[in-house]
Structure 1
Amino acid sequence: MALFESTLILLLVAVLLLQLSRRFSVPYPTILCLSGVAVAALPWAPDIPAPDITLDPQLALALFVAPALVDVAYDTPFSALRRNWAPLLALAAVAVILTTAAVAWVGIALAGLPIAAAIAMGAIVAPPDAAAAAAMLGRFALPRRTVTVLQGESLLNDAVALLIFSAAVAVQSGMAGGAIPENLLPQLALAVPGGLLVGVLVGRIYGLLAPRLAGTLSGTIFEFLTTFGTWVIAERLHFSAILATVAFAMTVAQSAPERQPPRDRVHSYSVWEAVVFLLNVLAFLLMGLQARAIIGRLEGDRFWQAAGVAAAVFLAVVVVRVVWVLAYNRAAAFVVRRQGGHDGPTVGQGLVVGWCGMRGLVTLATAQALPASFPERDLIVLCAFAVLLGTLVVQGLTLGPLIVRLRFPPDDSFDRELSAARIALIDAAIAALEAHDDEAARAQLDSLQEARAATAAGQHPREVSESDRLKRDMIAVKRRRLAEMRRAGTIDEDVFHALEQELDWSELASSPPERLQLVEG
Structure 2
Amino acid sequence: MELLVLGVLVVTVVVAVSFFASKINIATPLALVAAGIALTAVPSLRHIEVDPEWILAGILPPLLYATSTRLPVMDFRRDLPAISGLSIVLVVITALSVGWLMSRLIPEIGFATGVAIGAVVSPTDAVATSIARSLGVSPRLLTVLEGESLLNDASALVLLRAAVAAIGASVSLAGVLGSFIYSIVIAAAIGYAVGRLAVWVRSRMQDETLSTAVSFVVPFAAYLPVERLGGSGLVAAVTAGLVTSVGAGKHLRAQDRLADRANWSTIGLILEGTIFLLMGMQLIELVQDVREEHESLWKAGWLALAAGLTVLLVRAAYVALLLWTGNRRVERTKKAKEYWTTDEAKQHLYERVSSSRRTAGMDEEQVVRAGRRMWNQRLADFDYILQERWGARDGAMLVWAGMRGAVTVAAAQTLPANTPQRSLLILVAFFVAGGSLLIQGGTLSPLVRRLGLTGNVTDRSEIESLISTMQVAGEKFLDSPELRRADGSTYDADLVDRMKGRTQSRADLRPAADDPEGIDRANQMLELRIAVLDAERRRLLEIRRAGTAPSEVLSELLNVLDADQISLEMRRREPGPMDG
2:14·2:270 contact (CA, 8 Å) conserved in 1?
no
**Distance in 1 between residues matched to 2:530 and 2:170, nearest whole Å:** 66
Among 114, 122, 125, which residue is 2:118 paired with? Answer: 122
Contact kept in structure 2, 1:207 and 1:255, CA below 8 Å? yes
Separation (CA, whole Å) in 1 of partners of 2:176 and 2:323: 36
CA positional deviation for 1:211: 1.9
Q: Measure the CA separation in 1 of the matches of 2:120 and 2:469.
A: 47
Query: Where do residues 56-455 of structure 1 align in structure 2 (5 Å cutoff)?
Result: 57=53, 59-112=54-107, 113-129=109-125, 131-172=126-167, 175=168, 186-299=178-291, 301-330=295-324, 332-333=326-327, 336=330, 344-408=389-453, 411-412=456-457, 415-433=460-478, 437-439=493-495, 440-441=498-499, 447-448=506-507, 451-454=510-513
Letter in 2 for 1:324: Y
Question: Aligned partners of 2:494, 2:312: CA distance in 1, in Å?
Answer: 66
Deviates more, 1:322-331 or 1:195-204: 322-331
Q: Does 1:32 align with 2:32?
A: yes
* Sequence identity percentage: 28
Distance 1:227 1:462, change over 3 A: farther
- 1:142 match: secondary structure: coil
User: 1:485 touches 1:491 (CA, 8 Å); kept in 2?
Assistant: yes
Distance in 2 of aligned mates of 1:296 and 1:397 = 26
The equivalent position to 1:478 in structure 2, one of 525, 533, 536, is 536
1:86-116 per-residue CA deviation (whole Å, 9 max, x = no partner) reads: 4224422332223212322332233332322
Amino acid at match of 1:268: D
1:55 — aligned with what? 51
1:294-344 alpha-carbon deviations (Å, 9 max, x no partner): 212233634322222223223322333234323532554467469879764
- In structure 1, C-alpha distance between the alignment counterparts of 2:198 and 2:429, rounded to whole Å: 36
CA distance in 2 between counterparts of 1:272 and 1:80 reads 21
Cα pair distance change 1:275/1:376, threshold 3 Å: farther
Cα 1:24–1:328 shift into 2, 3 Å? farther
Mapped contact 1:132–1:359 kept (Cα < 8 A): no
Aligned to 1:488: 546
| 1:19 paired residue number | 19
Conservation of the 8 A alpha-carbon contact between 2:87 and 2:149: yes
Is residue 45 of structure 2 the alignment partner of residue 46 of structure 1? yes
- Distance, in Å, in 1 between the alignment partners of 2:333 and 2:555 is 34
Q: 1:90 to 1:179 in 2, by over 3 A?
A: closer
Whether the 8 Å CA contact 1:75–1:493 is kept in 2: the answer is: no
The change in CA–CA distance for 1:450 and 1:406 in structure 2 (over 3 A counts) is closer
1:50-77 Cα offsets, whole Å, 9 max, x none, are xx613163x4312122112212222335
Would the alpha carbon gap of residues 450 and 329 (structure 1) be closer, same or farther in structure 2, given more than 3 Å must change?
Answer: closer
- Report the alpha carbon displacement of residue 262 of structure 1 after superposing the two structures with TM: 1.4
Larger radius of gyration: 2
RMSD over aligned CA atoms reads 3.4
Indicate if the aligned counterparts of 1:207 and 1:256 stay in contact, CA closer than 8 A. yes
Q: How far does residue 496 in structure 1 lie from its aligned partner after superposition?
A: 3.0
Secondary structure of the residue that 2:297 maps to in structure 1? helix
Structure 1 CA distance, aligned partners of 2:267 and 2:393?
35
1:391 partner SS:
helix
8 Å CA contact retained: 2:83, 2:147: yes
1:345-394 CA-partner distances (Å, limit 9, x unpaired): 21111111111112233323323433444433322322222222222221
Amino acid paired to 1:128 = T
SS of the residue 1:53 aligns to: coil
Bigger mean CA deviation after superposition, 349-358 or 3-12 = 3-12
Alpha-carbon separation, structure 1, partners of 2:332 and 2:571: 61
Q: Please state how far the C-alpha of 1:400 moved relative to its aligned partner.
A: 1.2
Q: Is the 8 A contact 1:33 1:392 kept in 2?
A: no
Deviation larger for 227-236 or 486-495: 486-495
In 2, the alpha carbon distance for the partners of 1:155 and 1:279 equals 15
Distance in 1, Cα, partners of 2:246 & 2:509: 40
CA contact (8 A) 2:74 2:545 kept: no
CA distance in 1, matches of 2:547, 2:332: 28
Distance 1:379 1:7, change over 3 A: farther
Q: Measure, in 1, the Cα distance between the counterparts of 2:478 and 2:505.
A: 18
Q: Encode CA deviations 1:397-434: one digit per residue, 9 max, x unaligned.
A: 21111111112486555655443222211221233345
- 2:555 equivalent to 1:497: yes
Distance 1:276 1:339 in 2: 37
**Corresponding residue for 2:371?**
none
Length-normalised TM-score, structure 1: 0.85
* Contiguous gaps of at least 5 residues in structure 1: 516-521
Letter paired with 1:367: A
Query: Contact 1:88 / 1:152 at 8 angstroms: preserved in 2?
Result: yes
- Mean alpha-carbon deviation: is it higher for 351-360 or for 325-334? 325-334
Q: Name the CA distance, whole Å, in 2 between partners of 1:348 and 1:308.
A: 30
Q: Distance in 1 between matches of 2:453 and 2:213?
A: 43
* Cα deviation, residue 144, structure 1: 2.6
Distance in 2 separating the partners of 1:84 and 1:216: 33
Q: Which amino acid aligns with 1:15?
A: V
Q: Which moved more, 1:359-368 or 1:61-70?
A: 359-368
Residues 428 and 487 (structure 1), Cα distance of their counterparts in 2 relative to 1, 3 Å cut: same
CA distance in 2, matches of 1:144, 1:290: 36
Alpha-carbon distance between aligned partners in 1 of 2:331 and 2:250, rounded to the nearest angstrom: 41
Task: Tell me the TM-score normalized by structure 2.
Answer: 0.77
* 8 Å Cα contact 1:447/1:466 also seen in 2: no
Cα deviation for residue 126 of structure 1 reads 0.6
The whole-number CA distance in structure 1 between the counterparts of 2:161 and 2:150 is 17
How many Å separate the matches in 2 of 1:76 and 1:45?
Answer: 40
Q: Distance in 2 between matches of 1:376 and 1:259?
A: 53
Q: 1:179 to 1:94 in 2, by over 3 A?
A: closer
Shift of 1:183: 7.4
Q: CA offset at residue 230 of structure 1?
A: 0.8
* 1:209 to 1:392, Cα distance in 2 relative to 1, 3 A: same
Deviation at 1:493, TM superposition (A): 3.6
Kept in 1, the 8 Å contact 2:526–2:572? The answer is no
Distance 2:24 2:314 in 1: 29
Are the counterparts in 2 of residues 462 and 511 from structure 1 also a CA contact under 8 Å? no
For 1:97 and 1:3, the matched residues in 2 are separated by 38
2 CA distance for matches of 1:368 and 1:2? Answer: 23
Instruction: Return closer, same or farther for 1:218/1:44 CA change in 2, 3 Å cut-off.
Output: same
Pick one of 569, 577, 580 that aligns with 1:511: 569
Partners of 1:457 and 1:39 lie apart in 2 by: 64
The structure-2 alpha-carbon separation of the partners of 1:449 and 1:54, relative to structure 1 and needing over 3 Å to count, comes to closer
2:342 counterpart residue number: none
